[in-house]
């Protein structure tokens, strides 16, 4: 599994990004987007029921409350992180700019949370509210808020693509380093074989006095051959995986 640690991203030291973490973040942002629209539909449903003189069911009121709570929880996790699930604090410069920069996305989200609860209490409780203002808020959910939430999802998806690119570059660099090291091993094995060959010639010239030395040179050549063949096999395996 590809992992990039804090030192590569500016995250806190105990944080790490991986494909599953990005999947969780993108899923969370997408869920937040879905929950916002669901909350808007609940409000429209409650409004229609009130206009018809019918109260919403307790189940629908409970479902609306859970939708609003889940939305807030998702937003809090995206910003503050969650150690239990391994989601880091807000690390994305793109998302940070969207939420806390000139786009003021966080203010848009907070406004939604506040007004959503406000209208939920009024409508389900049978209270009076300005219809034109309510409809403007519903339009806000479908336009301004949705735009912010979609931008957050898109920013995280872009970060994931960048993450994959960095992972590929790191893997390529690590592979190159391994191949370079194996090249040095092969070179050393080749030199050892040459040394063993020359030593073998010397042992033959020495006659009986060189027999023991000759046995050692044979063993040295055998080890050198094994190292050379093993390194070639590793190179072939790495080349196959990279290809």
Q: pLDDT by residue (tens digit) across 106-121?
A: 999 999 999 999 999 9
More confident: 64 or 90: 64
Q: Are residues 16 and 78 in the same domain?
A: yes
Is residue 166 domain-shared with residue 194, that is, in the same domain?
Answer: no
Q: How far apart are CA 74 and CA 87, in angstroms?
A: 11
Report whether 135 contacts 47 (CB < 8 A): no
Q: What band does 142 get if pLDDT is binned at 50, 70 and 90? A: very high
Q: Are residues 91 and 207 in the same domain?
A: no
Place of tokens 């939604």: 112
Number of domains making up the chain: 2
**pLDDT, position 12:** 40
- Summarised one tens digit per residue, pLDDT across range 41-54 is 999 999 999 888 89
CB 98 within 8 A of CB 157: no
Region 188-198: mean pLDDT is: 55
Higher pLDDT, 2 or 28: 28
pLDDT band at 150 (very low <50, low <70, confident <90, very high): very high
- Based on the domain organization, do 97 and 147 belong to the same domain? yes
Task: Tokens for 44, please give them.
Answer: 């429209």
Residues 33 and 93 occupy one common structural domain:
yes
Same domain membership, residue 66 and residue 82: yes
For the chain, the average pLDDT equals: 77
Q: How confident is the model at residue 135 (pLDDT cuts 50, 70, 90)?
A: very high
| Averaged pLDDT, 19-32 | 90
- Regarding whether 198 and 124 lie in a shared domain, the answer is no
DSSP β-bridge partners for residue 82: 87
pLDDT at 188: 57
The reply to whether 100 and 188 lie within a common domain is no
pLDDT at 93: 87
Alpha-carbon torsion, ordered 54, 60, 65, 69, to 10 deg: -150
Residues 117 and 186 in one domain: no
Quick one: 162 and 232 in the same domain? Answer: no
Final residue of a domain: which of 149, 170, 191? 170
- Residue 205 pLDDT level (bands cut at 50, 70, 90): low
Contacting residues for 95 by C-beta, under 8 A, at least 6 apart: 78, 152, 155, 156, 159
Task: From 146, 170, 194, give the residue that closes a domain.
Answer: 170
What's the pLDDT score for residue 1? 37
Q: Are residues 77 and 35 in the same domain?
A: yes
pLDDT of residue 169 exceeding 80, the answer is no
Structure-model confidence comparison of residues 221 and 67, the more confident one: 67
**Residue after which a domain boundary falls, among 170, 201, 218:** 170
**Residue 117 and residue 220 in one domain:** no
Which domain does 233 fall in, by range?
Answer: 175-242
**Average pLDDT of 95-103?**
91
* pLDDT value for 15: 46
- Lowest pLDDT segment from 63-67, 133-137, 154-158, 164-168: 164-168
Q: What is the pLDDT of residue 86?
A: 83
């Amino acid at each position: 599994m590809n992992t990039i640690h804090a030192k590569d991203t500016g995250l806190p030291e105990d944080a790490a990004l991986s494909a599953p973490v990005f999947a969780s973040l993108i899923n969370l942002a997408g869920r937040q987007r879905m929950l916002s629209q669901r909350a808007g539909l609940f409000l429209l449903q409650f409004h229609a029921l009130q206009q018809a003189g019918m109260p919403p069911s307790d189940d629908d009121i409970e479902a609306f409350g859970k939708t609003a709570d889940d939305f807030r929880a998702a937003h809090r996790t995206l910003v503050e992180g969650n150690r239990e699930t391994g989601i880091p604090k807000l690390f994305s410069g793109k998302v940070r700019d969207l939420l806390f920069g000139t786009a003021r996305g966080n203010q848009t989200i907070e406004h939604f949370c506040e007004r959503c609860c406000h209208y939920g209490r009024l409508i389900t409780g049978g209270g009076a509210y300005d219809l034109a203002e309510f409809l403007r808020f519903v339009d806000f959910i479908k336009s301004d808020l949705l735009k912010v939430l979609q931008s957050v999802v898109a920013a995280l998806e872009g970060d994931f693509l960048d993450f994959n690119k960095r992972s590929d570059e790191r893997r390529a660099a690590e592979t190159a380093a391994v191949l370079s090291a194996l090249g040095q091993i092969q070179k050393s094995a080749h030199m050892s074989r040459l040394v063993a060959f020359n030593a073998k010639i010397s042992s033959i010239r020495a006659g009986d006095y060189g027999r023991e030395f000759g046995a050692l040179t044979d063993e040295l050549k055998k080890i050198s051959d094994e190292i050379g063949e093993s390194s070639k096999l590793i190179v072939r395996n790495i080349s196959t995986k990279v290809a």
